[in-house]
Amino acid sequence: MKENRKTRSREQAQIHAGILSILVNTILFGIKLWVGLVTGSIALMADAWHTMSDSLTSVMMIPAAKLAAKKPDKRHPFGHGRWELIASMLMAFVLGAIALEFLTGSIGRFRDRESVVFGTLALVITIISIILKEALAQYEFYLGREYKNPIITADAWHSRTDSISSIAILLGIIITKIWSGLWWMDSVLGIICALVIFYAAFEILREVVTKILGEEPKQEFKEELIDEIRKVYGDDLCLHHFHIHNYITHKELTFHIRLNKDMTIEESHRIATGIERIIENEFNMSATIHIDPS
Q: Model confidence at 130, in pLDDT bands (50, 70, 90)?
A: confident
Quick one: pLDDT band at residue 146, thresholds 50, 70, 90? confident
Query: What gap in Å lies between CA 209 and CA 154, rounded to an integer?
Result: 13
Total-model pTM: 0.60
pLDDT-derived band at 77, boundaries 50, 70, 90: low
For residue 70, what is the DSSP state? S
Write down the pLDDT at residue 68.
67
- pLDDT (tens digit, 9 = 90+) per residue, 217-260? 788 888 888 888 888 887 677 888 888 877 766 778 888 888 88
pLDDT over 80 (residue 65): no
Alpha carbon distance 6, 13 (integer Å): 11
- Going by pLDDT thresholds of 50, 70 and 90, the confidence category of residue 169 is confident
Nearest residue to 20 (alpha-carbon basis) of 133, 131, 157, 96: 133
Q: Name the residue ranges covered by the structural domains of the chain.
A: 2-213, 219-293
CATH superfamily to which 219-293 belongs: Cation efflux protein, cytoplasmic domain (3.30.70.1350)
Distance CA 214, CA 274 (A): 26
**Region at 240 (left for phi over 0; alpha for psi -120 to 50; beta for the rest):** beta
Find, among 191, 196, 189, the residue nearest to 118 by Cα: 189
Average pLDDT for 31-40:
80
pLDDT tier, 115 (very low <50, low <70, confident <90, very high otherwise): low
Contacts of 190 (CB under 8 A, 6+ apart): 42, 43, 46, 102, 103, 105, 106, 109
pLDDT of 5 over the 60 cut = no
Q: Which is higher by pLDDT, 16 or 109? A: 16
Name the CATH superfamily housing domain 2-213. Answer: Cation efflux protein transmembrane domain (1.20.1510.10)
